[in-house]
């Protein structure tokens, strides 16, 4: 297929309208559930109270505002895929409530702060503004690109990823998490596996030294993904770790690589049950001169040769391919991990009985 033919074929799938929504109309559509802000996307809402306030100030001043992008779903609902921070700031200021289903402690809904052009705005809420300013703000418009509905879920995936990766304050796996959900059930299934593995108690113990911020921003899920990618697709690694993880995730959800969900989840749990039994909760914590320094060691957090060594070592004990080693490797050889070493395992290992 030539370039022009490929370009025509791909671009023909993209149909869109350009619409100017008033602030009041956007809020009414959100309240009527005609515009959706997914919780997974809202997780990436990172503006501080001052940043939100200065955006409201910019709207009142009539400064140019970047366009937002919405994707029309099959049910007609418009899904916000770019402009999360702008739209959320407006909703929070005008209504006094957050569009997020569970407000976090840093989800600012207070009065305006940090306004440096209209300093008199500081301390104001929507209700304390003069009525003329309330009406002016609600009549201000945001230009929106509305992508028409399409059956191509991967087009939505690519669009969201590209719009939200450049210069975004979100972590790479937060963008990956939201993007994969757009694909549909295949993406949901893979993310559900990452979540179940990240919730496995021995893994939680092994990664307890992650910062609270990292845990909140899906750091454990990303470590599970790194484990799987290193174990199953190390030969494809090159360049950026984040890009490599993106490509591996895409390959799994598109069925471009073999991936046995049940087997991989079972082997992951088995491996970390081994580490929990043999090394305890400090298996991956930094040490120096027999002292615990805290924090995860680079061999687990970085995609360098150390990580490869860890995963290769885990692979030996999980698949039973090594000679000697821990007693757990002989146990692995005993049951062969042929669909049995997860809940319901009958291999007779005492530690499996405790952790299955």
pLDDT per residue as tens digits for the range 289-344: 666 565 565 444 444 434 433 544 454 444 444 333 333 333 333 333 333 343 43
99-128: average pLDDT: 82
pTM: 0.56
Nearest residue to 70 (alpha-carbon basis) of 12, 11, 143: 143
Characterize the bridge pairing of strands 141-147 and 16-22: antiparallel
Helix-strand-coil split of the chain, %, nearest 5 = 55, 10, 35
Q: Are 163 and 85 in contact (CB under 8 A)?
A: no
Query: What's the first-to-final CA gap in the chain, in angstroms?
Result: 52
- At 198, the pLDDT band (50, 70, 90 cuts) reads very high
Q: pLDDT, tens digit, for every residue of 117-162?
A: 999 999 999 999 999 999 999 999 999 989 887 766 667 667 766 6
Mean pLDDT, range 196-207, rounded to an integer:
90
What residues contact residue 27 under an 8 Å CB cut-off, 6+ apart? 90, 91, 94, 95, 138
Q: What is the pLDDT of residue 173?
A: 73
Q: CA-CA distances (angstroms) from residue 133 to 31, 75, 121, 126, 310?
A: 22, 36, 11, 9, 60
- Phi and psi at 295, nearest 5°, equal 80, 155
Copy the structure tokens of residue 286: 């930094």
pLDDT in tens, 69-96: 888 888 889 988 788 889 999 999 999 9
pLDDT of residue 304: 41
Q: Crossing angle, helix 172-183 and helix 153-165, to 10 degrees?
A: 160
């Amino acid at each position: 297929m030539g370039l022009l033919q490929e370009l025509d074929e791909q671009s023909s799938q993209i149909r869109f309208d350009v619409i100017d929504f008033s602030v009041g109309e956007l809020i009414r559509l959100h309240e009527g559930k005609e515009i959706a802000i997914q919780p997974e996307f809202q997780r990436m809402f990172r503006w501080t109270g001052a940043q939100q306030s200065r955006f409201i100030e910019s709207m009142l001043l009539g400064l140019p505002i970047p366009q937002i992008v919405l994707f029309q779903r099959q049910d007609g609902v418009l899904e916000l895929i770019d402009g999360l921070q702008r739209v959320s700031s407006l909703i929070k200021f005008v209504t006094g409530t957050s569009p997020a289903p569970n407000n976090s402690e840093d989800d600012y809904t207070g009065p305006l702060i940090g306004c440096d052009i209209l300093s008199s705005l500081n301390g104001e809420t929507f209700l304390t503004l003069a009525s003329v300013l309330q009406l002016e703000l609600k009549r201000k418009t945001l230009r929106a690109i509305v992508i028409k509905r399409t059956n191509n879920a991967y087009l939505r995936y690519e669009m969201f990823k590209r719009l939200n990766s450049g210069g975004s304050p979100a972590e790479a796996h937060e963008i990956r998490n939201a993007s994969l959900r757009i694909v549909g059930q295949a993406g949901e299934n893979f993310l559900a596996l990452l979540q179940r593995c990240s919730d496995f108690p021995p893994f939680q113990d092994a990664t307890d030294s992650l910062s609270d911020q990292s845990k909140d921003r899906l750091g454990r899920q990303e470590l599970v993904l790194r484990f799987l990618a290193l174990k199953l697709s190390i030969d494809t690694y090159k360049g950026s770790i984040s890009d490599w993880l993106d490509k591996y995730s895409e390959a799994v959800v598109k069925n471009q690589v073999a991936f046995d969900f049940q087997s991989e989840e079972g082997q992951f749990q088995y491996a970390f049950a081994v580490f929990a039994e043999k090394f305890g909760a400090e298996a991956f914590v930094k040490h120096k001169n027999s002292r615990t320094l805290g924090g995860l060691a680079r061999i687990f957090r970085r995609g360098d040769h150390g990580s490869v060594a860890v995963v290769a070592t885990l692979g030996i004990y999980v698949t039973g391919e090594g000679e000697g080693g821990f007693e757990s490797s002989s146990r692995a050889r005993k049951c062969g991990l042929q669909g049995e070493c997860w809940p319901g395992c009958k291999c007779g290992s005492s530690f499996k009985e405790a952790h299955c």
